[in-house]
Structure 1
Amino acid sequence: MPKGRSRKRKEKGHQSQPADTGSLDDDSESVCSSLDGSVMSEDGVGVGGVEEETEEDAEFQLAEHIDRLGEKSSRTRLEALTQVNKILRGKLVAHCLTGCRETLLDIITRGLKRVSGQERLDLLELSMLLTVQFGVDQPALAAALRPLVTQLAQDPTISAPERSECLKVLGVVVFIQVSDLLEVASVMRVLEEVLRKCRLDQVVASAVRSWTLLLSIAPDHSVPALFNCLLPALNSLLDKTSHLGVRVAVGQAVALLFELVREVDESLLDTRDSDRAYELIQSLATESDRHTARKERNHQRSTFKDILNTLEGGVGPERTVRSGVESVSLNCWARHVQYDTFRDLLGPAMNTHLAGNDLLREVFQMGPPPLLRVESKAHKLDRKYYNAVMAKQRTQSRGKLRDKRTVT
């Protein structure tokens, strides 16, 4: 923090305030009266509460921004897209989108064909957020997006960030919407082709992550073939790349493959490719390259130590994620991959969706959401209001004491 800024705050805190005997009572009464206007009713519903107004404002703003997505100005469309994605990421508003599903799908499909750059990236993000909001109720979304996004992901003429985002969309949309295992296998073959042939690290990392996400829901009978087919390619990527994102994505894919194969037939691990994977993982878990940043080096070591434990003894990393009064247990690599995918998409609002999004609660087997105790929330608001009044009284009384010291 700059010294000038902190000094200015300090001087401002020592300024004397006029001693007005009636101001304390008047101000405290005004604070109490303003707070009384938003107290909780006996039923626990906010009367003039801030949260209800915020929710209504967000829904109204969402409708306005969706209307602006069809404007001719690219700048206007881009600003509207940014705001729509922000609202969809942070709030559960699927009920507000019931009447405009087809409109949004039409905007996305037409826009992906015509625009490029940041606007295309935002449209791709919008398609993933809509899929998370709607859950499994929109098969038309996957049917319209899958062929278009697949074509863009395989197009070498578009930029690496756009291809990377297309691969993410392909993984998320198919994971959520597609129940036909043959279609899932078809998409996995597309991702395999990209990770084998592409030389762009960002694109390869996204292809591996999406492939691993779909691997987490693959049926048991397909695991041996996937293991024998993909493990040599994954070993080759680990051996050649120095990109941390690619290394971590490939390492998690290898760990999940070993985890699934152990559940099906552990004897399949007695191969030369398995031994080679173990050697590469062990090397990366102990690598001490001074040319890489310390933070990246520590992240690589900790990640590959967890992967090495899985390869050696079948022990996966166990982690518990708190979400309000609930918790999500990540006790296998499949859960870790799925959680990381949605966390990267939703960011800090992950807990909001875990609390009320039926799709995510089903994915992580959290069951129906618990009943909220509105009474405790009311008590919390009462304490907050009381503390606000008392804090103001303390500030004013200290100011009067400082005035008396100045006079004497």
Structure 2
Amino acid sequence: MPKDKRRRGKGGRGGVDLRQQSDDELENGDNFSVVSSQSDTHSYSADDDHLQRGAEEDGSESNVQEEFEEKLRMYIDGLTQKSAKGRTDCLRRLRQALSKKCIYDFITDRKMTMTDGVERCVKKGKGEEAAAACICLNLLLLQLGPGEESEEIYQQLRPTLVTLMADKCVSARARSADAIDTMNCLENVFKSSYLKGDRTPPTHNPDICALHASALTAWGLLLSIAPPGVVNDLIDSHLSKVSELLLSKDIELRIVAGETLALIYELAREEDEDFEDRGMEQLCEQLKQMSTESHKYTSKKDRRQQRSSFRQIHDAIQQGVSPNTCIKFGKESMMIDSWARKWQYESLCHTLGSGMNVHLQENDLLRDIFQLGAPIPAMAAATSRVSKFERQMYNIAAFKARTKARSKFRDKRVASVSSDN
């Protein structure tokens, strides 16, 4: 995991330190993660602040929950109003609420109403509204978790999202907010940053560069869970293409491209531990140069950011070095021990923002993704005391179990792909 706390532009993957968040819910340092994430959330209104402080003021948790749900119903109803500004504000409030708490029962009872409202905002909205609607859709699916409910909503909105992402008349901000479509559609977005016929990088404005970085990030996320057969085909067809993006004039796109290459090499070595592409030596030399560049036409911050990122990317490709970061949330912790896992964690951080720790503790889908098991009851978490040695032994055992589980899972996907063919 990169050590620098970089913050990227619109649609990027990096972010701000969770310790800098100002929400009252984040005042308790025990729940902080050691890894930063991008929140991009707006400030709560006075009414929303009251929801956060209500438990302390009136001492009634049930009253606060009822008031919280009443506010949510108001925001859901607000998605049908005529004012685009009003709809956008309701989407922002919904995003805040969906990222802060796990409210599966509430969502289940209103999933079609919310889906219809969000779809209407995606179709009718412009720029900021459409982008906020796409993020709310991501959060809605995360709240519902795996299963028929999520699949039904995804299939309903998929045509709309594909059309939105492919339509160049739609603002770059709205198109970059959707990261749930197929890899081919996503490549159709960022391939415009491949080298031109004369082998020079194209020039795009910052918004388009941010869009391409966002699309490549989503492409990498899907690559991290793709079946081995698909991964092998993509390695053959895309390793040299993604390498071209290292020459982009945009630092964010360069870094995302480098991390994508690290992910590709990691997945390739899972299938063949001795994997080496014929252009690997030249690529490593390029990465080494980028990790020491000090061009004066770039800012000190950008130079520092690039050097730190590409040192890790270079080590990953040349020596097979993987991230090794412990994420703490509540009384639990987990290891980010691969580029694929890092990619998944950071993508979810970008969507959930400061609510990531809450969802890691309570959201069944996230706990399934990171193989954390069933949520720990609140009383059990509060009373359990584990020594440092026991935690170390647990993390070692969990690392071995995850490695074994990933191998079995990939074997199953091989069998699935073979049977489909």
Q: State the TM bucket, normalised to the shorter chain.
A: 0.7 to 0.9
- Which deviates more, 50-59 or 340-349? 50-59
Name the SS for the 1:373 alignment partner: helix
Counterpart of 1:79?
Answer: 89
Say yes or no: does 1:123 pair with 2:133.
yes
Flag the structure with larger Rg: 1
The match for 1:134 among 138, 144, 147 is: 144
- Maintained 8 Å contact 1:81/1:123: yes
Q: Distance in 2 between matches of 1:268 and 1:169?
A: 30
- Maintained 8 Å contact 2:72/2:94: yes
Residue identity in the other structure for 1:334: A
Counterpart of 2:191?
Answer: 196
Counterpart of 2:257?
Answer: 250
Alignment CA distance shift 1:376-1:49 (3 Å): farther
- Maintained 8 Å contact 2:100/2:358: yes
- Maintained 8 Å contact 2:87/2:121: no
The match for 2:105 among 95, 101, 113 is: 95
1:47-62 matches, within 5 Å, as 49-62=59-72
Which 4+ stretches in 1 moved above 4 angstroms?
374-377
Counterpart of 1:162?
Answer: 174
- Which deviates more, 300-309 or 126-135? 300-309
Number of residue pairs matched? 314
**TM superposition shift of 1:366:** 0.8
Residue identity in the other structure for 1:145: L
Structure 1 residue runs of 5 or longer lacking an equivalent are: 1-45, 171-186, 378-408
Q: Distance in 2 between matches of 1:298 and 1:333?
A: 21
The match for 2:359 among 353, 358, 377 is: 353
- Maintained 8 Å contact 1:209/1:249: yes
Residue identity in the other structure for 1:287: E
Counterpart of 1:18?
Answer: none
1:2-401 matches, within 5 Å, as 49-137=59-147, 138-166=150-178, 168-170=179-181, 187-197=182-192, 199=204, 200-239=208-247, 241-272=248-279, 274-373=280-379
Q: Distance in 2 between matches of 1:54 and 1:269?
A: 58
Q: Distance in 1 between matches of 2:282 and 2:187?
A: 20
Counterpart of 2:27?
Answer: none
Name the SS for the 1:328 alignment partner: strand
Write out per-residue CA displacement over residues 43-99 of structure 1, whole angstroms, 9 at most, x where no aligned residue. xxx9x7354433332112111211121122323322222211111111111211222
Write out per-residue CA displacement over residues 324-351 of structure 1, whole angstroms, 9 at most, x where no aligned residue. 1101210000010001001111111110
Q: Distance in 2 between matches of 1:344 and 1:122?
A: 13
**TM superposition shift of 1:375:** 10
Alignment CA distance shift 1:77-1:251 (3 Å): same
Whichever structure has more helix as a proportion of its residues is: 1
Name the SS for the 2:378 alignment partner: coil
Name the SS for the 1:269 alignment partner: coil
Alignment CA distance shift 1:147-1:375 (3 Å): closer
Larger RCO (alpha carbons 8 Å, 6+ apart) = 2
Q: TM-score, normalised by structure 2?
A: 0.70
Alignment CA distance shift 1:56-1:297 (3 Å): farther
**TM superposition shift of 1:148:** 1.4
**TM superposition shift of 1:374:** 7.5
Name the SS for the 2:333 alignment partner: strand
Residue identity in the other structure for 1:343: C
Q: Distance in 1 between matches of 2:166 and 2:210?
A: 14
Q: Distance in 2 between matches of 1:109 and 1:372?
A: 36
- Maintained 8 Å contact 1:191/1:210: yes
